Structure formats: structure tokens, C-alpha cells
Amino acid sequence: MKYFLPLILLIVFSGVAISQTPMQKQNHRFSKIFLPAPQGGIDDIISLNIEPNPFVNAIKAPDVITGKTRYDLQSNYAVGRRIHAFPDGTIGATWTRGMLDPNFTDRGTGYNYHNGSSWGPHPTERVEAVRTGWPSYQPYGTNGEIIVSHTGAASGLVFSWRENKGTDSWNYFNFEGPSESPLLLWPRMITSGENNEIIHLIVLTAPTANGGVVYQGLDGALLYSRSFDGGLTWDPQNELLEGITSDDLKAVRADTYSWAAAHGETLAFIVGDGYGDGIVMKSGDAGDSWTKMLYYESIDKFMDGSVLYPDHGGTDSYQSAVIDDLGRVHVAVGRQVHNADGIGGIFYFPYFYFTKMILAYNICLYQPVADGVLFGYAANKDR
């Protein structure tokens, strides 16, 4: 208790000292959000007298640039799995690459490989033969690698793969959405199995704002697919899982979902736009069946601004998940304060002192820092 009381008092007094700042309204769920820039800057480094943390080394290795891009929007919210460290000490890294602004006709997957000793030269062209974006990268087969990215066109997604990582030519195949909603965007992928031979895919049907249609009652539906044979066949294919249907959420927004790395036959992905429920979808049989759990329960899972809600806690959709050795799912996500005005507006505070938190579900991580901000928070739920 002696840790909690000073922290609470400091937060309360800090809140009193801070004048009210107008909340920023989110113009559109897929638009960039522009917040007021700070007036002025820091010209002096403030020294904090903090007792050293014996568990964290503050010294880090120098940054290494693996490649370049002028295309800044790497994700709308959560970042997909774009880098993988292999057991043999090699590393594969990907990103959305584009150098020809403003239209970026050359946009595609940037890729570089660390052979265990050094990184390769910076790539000068994309992996794919067509314009793509939003790569997701995983090991594939005994020594290979695989990438999925979206085209933003009727051809759907492009899978790029090769049997030997870091070398050989890339092979390609396409993946399309359901006939009622063929346009797919913002994919996420993992592989599982003894030799990483099983492909698991979640991907969003394009919302109406992005040229798509409402699919099974959702203006943005997250679909699951699985392949055991390198994409020749899929079972299931473009399935809307029970637990993330129109009975469970209003819609899924771009990049508000994330896979955990597979742990044997245990799989998990998370979905949450910050206003509705934060959902964990978990499978213990490599994707044959799924169970829904909540890591955050919203006061209104269909929140659209039509009902008045005063300030309340929520999440920021920048979320990540892992599965531990016991098969438990751990979720980390940023905290925000939300409200709804009752006439169609939903607002959020992303920058107040009392919203600067990382919520860690199932992870006992409590470390208050000098200014009273809660850096870690544990909600111990048996997941």
C-alpha cells in the first residue's frame, strides 16, 4: 500500500494543476489525427534523481539502419509482425517501402536479411512485382520465409515466399476476399506447425470509406483463413468467427488487431478499437475452434456517439499480445480517456498525464516512475 498512496496523491495534485484542454475529435476512423504542436521547446535536459533499476540496462547498442523509406504511414494502429529472429542467429526484416512521393507508385515491401554477421545492402526495389503495402513477415517451411501484403485492388493480397531465407527468387500467389466483399486490406499473418508450414491469416474486408461494402452487418469485418499446403487450398477460407461478428462489435477498424506468436497448437489474436470491447480470440487446436475472451470490457461495445457517456477509461488500439509457456495470453495496450457527446461525437484524451499508461493484462509489471505516471499496470485475469 505504501507505493500506491503517494502515486494516487501525486496524480490527483497533478490533475488539479493542469488546466482543461479541449479534447480532439477523431475526424474519421481512418484519417490521421493531428494534435496541437507544443508551443516552444526544451532547451535544457532535466536531471531526475531516480534510483537505478537493477533489472533494466539503460545502455543500448547503436541503431542500425536496415533500409529506407519515404512512405511514413507504416500502420494506422498496431504494427504487424514484420521482423523475425531465426534460431540460427539470422534475422529477416520488412517494412512498407516507397521512395517516389507523393503518389508512391513504387510502394511495396522493403526487405533486408541479417546473415548472422551483418545486414545486407539497403534494398532498391520492392519484393513484389505490383504496388503493395502493409507487409506481414514470418518463417515458412524448414528454412524459408513468407510475406503477405495488400494490393488495395481486386487482386486482393499478395503472398511472397521462398524456400531458403535470404536467398533464392521469390514466388508469388494471390488471395481474394469473399465474392460479396472481394477487396481485402491490412493483413496480419503467423505460421505454426513443426516446420512453420501452416499459414494463419486475419484480414479486414474493405470498409465503405475505402471502396468496400458492408459485409455481414459490419463496415469492416475481420476474416480468418488457414492453409496447410502453401496457399493451394484454405480451410477455413474468409471465415467470420463467432465472437467477432456484428453481435459483438460495431465494426473493426484498420490495424486494430494483432497476432501473438504461435505456441505449439495454441494460437491467439486480439481485436479492439478502444471504444468497444477488447477481444482475445484463442485456439488450443491450431485454429480448428476458437474461444472469445475480453481483455477490456467497454461500457458500450457498439459505441457510436449517439448516447451520452462522460469521461471513462478505454484503450488506444496500439496493442500487442504474447502466449507464455503455460498457454496464457498476455496483452499490452495503451490507455486513453474517452467520452461521447450523445449527438454523434466520440472524443479522446491521448496526452493527459493521467492517461499515460500501458495496461498489461496477465503480466505483473508495476513500476511507478519519478513523475507519478503509471508505466505498468496489471489486471490479473486468468486468460
Residue 183's pLDDT is: 96
- Is 354's pLDDT higher than 80? no
* Cis preceding-peptide flag for 123 (omega within 30 of 0): no
SS (H, E, C) 140-179: ECCCEEEEEEECCCCCCEEEEEECCCCCCCCEEEEECCCC
Question: How far apart are the two ends of the chain, measured CA to CA in Å?
Answer: 26
pTM: 0.78
- Is 98's pLDDT higher than 90? yes
CA of residue 343 relative to chain centroid, distance: 30
Strands 278-283 and 346-349: unpaired
- Is 42's pLDDT higher than 50? no
Residue 264's pLDDT is: 96
| 260 Rama sector, left if φ>0, alpha if ψ -120 to 50, beta otherwise | beta
Strands 377-379 and 358-361: parallel
Give the three-class secondary structure for 111: strand
Mean pLDDT of 122-134: 97
pLDDT band at 101; cut points 50, 70, 90: very high
Q: Could you tell me which of 213, 218, 255, 261 has the C-alpha nearest to residue 240?
A: 218
Pick the more confident residue, 308 or 264: 264
Architecture of domain 63-259: 6 Propeller (2.120)
Mean pLDDT of 11-18: 38
pLDDT band at 361; cut points 50, 70, 90: low
